[in-house]
């Protein structure tokens, strides 16, 4: 079968090729075989190909970290899926291939929804959900603040927060995207700057903010820290600026502000079915209703993968690969 395979870390244009690999064969008693329908090119994929991610697979390696597939064969002991069901492909199961063999007991049938949007369910919405629920107990009616509010994860976080009764302050870098983020449901949308804390206080009525979510780093970290209430937590899940974070020591000392990181890969190491199933059912329902959506720039078949990867590297909307 066909697969997009990484040969060496570095420039994807030189290191990735369309290869013939062995078929997945028949399912064991606890496995299913599924035909991949759609898989996005994620920022994670680009970082892995460049050799700059926290997880690097042994080479050669089939690429792709998330997607959806249609079940075509079911093992004798599988009760949670049947032939014809559409399901997620689990975290870090290679997806840029025609067929996959899955054994995760937490997988469930997905609802009827836009296949492109479902293909992006696995990572960004899950990260957004866990940032809101797994770090700090934010009460209903409480506030969180996030930067990079135009990113895919941040766009998912806004409606997820609303579903949990949480209000959002959304920080962007360009004034022209303010109205767009407000239209998504952002309660407060502001352009980043050194006076951010003063403007946030004015917009929220000086409400305490216990959680700040940082995907930018650089000086934006300091601006978020200054918005936090005493005992607040700032969590990093990315650093898209490519620069170290900059922050004052005083809030950490006198306001007891804490800094920590979050990576979905670590969470998955200990996540149990009773955590995974309700989370993804909640998020899949929000995609089906249209509450969670991400802009899609284009779709490409496997034979057009060089063009697809080049376009994805420009971060101008999601690129979706459709192998079958």
pLDDT of residue 240: 85
Q: How many of the other CB atoms lie within 10 Å of CB of 96?
A: 25
The residues of the chain scoring below 70 in pLDDT are none
pLDDT of residue 14: 83
Q: Which helix (H) or strand (E) holds 133?
A: helix 124-133
List 250's β-bridge partners, or say none: none
List 33's β-bridge partners, or say none: 73, 101
Give tens-digit pLDDT for 54-83.
Answer: 889 999 999 999 999 999 999 999 999 999
pLDDT of residue 91: 86
HSE value, Cβ hemisphere, 13 Å, CA-based, for 317: 9
* Closest-CA residue to 200 (of 129, 134, 149): 149
Give tens-digit pLDDT for 199-255.
Answer: 999 999 999 999 999 999 999 999 999 999 999 999 999 988 888 999 889 989 999
pLDDT of residue 92: 79
pLDDT of residue 1: 94
pTM of the model: 0.94
Looking at the annotation, which residues are catalytic? 53
pLDDT of residue 54: 85
Neighbouring residues of 264: CB distance < 8 A, sequence distance ≥ 6: 91, 123, 126, 127, 130
């Amino acid at each position: 079968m066909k697969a997009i395979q990484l040969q060496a870390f570095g420039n994807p244009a030189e290191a990735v090729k369309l290869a013939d690999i062995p078929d997945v064969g028949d399912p064991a008693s606890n496995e299913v075989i599924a035909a991949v329908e759609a898989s996005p090119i994620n920022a994670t994929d680009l970082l892995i190909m460049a050799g700059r991610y926290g997880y690097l697979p042994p080479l050669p390696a089939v690429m792709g970290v998330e997607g959806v597939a249609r079940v075509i064969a079911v093992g004798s002991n599988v009760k949670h899926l049947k032939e014809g069901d559409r399901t997620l492909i689990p975290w870090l199961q290679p997806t840029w291939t025609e067929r996959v063999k899955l054994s995760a007991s937490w997988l469930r049938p997905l609802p009827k929804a836009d296949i492109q949007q479902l293909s992006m369910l696995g990572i960004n919405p899950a990260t957004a959900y866990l940032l809101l629920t797994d770090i700090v107990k934010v009460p209903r009616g409480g506030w969180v603040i996030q930067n990079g509010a135009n990113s895919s994860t941040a766009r998912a976080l806004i409606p997820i927060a609303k579903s949990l009764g949480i209000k959002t302050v959304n920080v962007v870098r360009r004034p022209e995207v303010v109205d767009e983020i407000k239209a998504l449901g952002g309660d407060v949308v502001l352009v980043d700057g050194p006076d951010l804390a003063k403007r946030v206080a004015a917009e929220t009525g000086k409400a305490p903010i216990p959680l700040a979510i940082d995907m930018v780093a650089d000086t934006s970290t300091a601006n978020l820290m200054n918005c936090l209430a005493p005992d607040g937590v700032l969590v990093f899940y990315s650093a898209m600026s490519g620069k170290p974070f900059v922050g004052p020591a005083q809030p950490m000392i006198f306001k007891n502000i804490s800094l920590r990181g979050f990576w979905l890969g670590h969470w998955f190491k200990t996540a149990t079915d009773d955590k995974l199933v309700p989370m993804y059912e909640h998020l899949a329902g929000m995609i089906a209703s249209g509450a969670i959506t991400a802009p899609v720039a284009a779709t490409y078949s496997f034979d057009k993968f060089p063009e697809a990867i080049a376009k994805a590297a420009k971060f101008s909307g999601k690129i979706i690969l459709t192998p079958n």
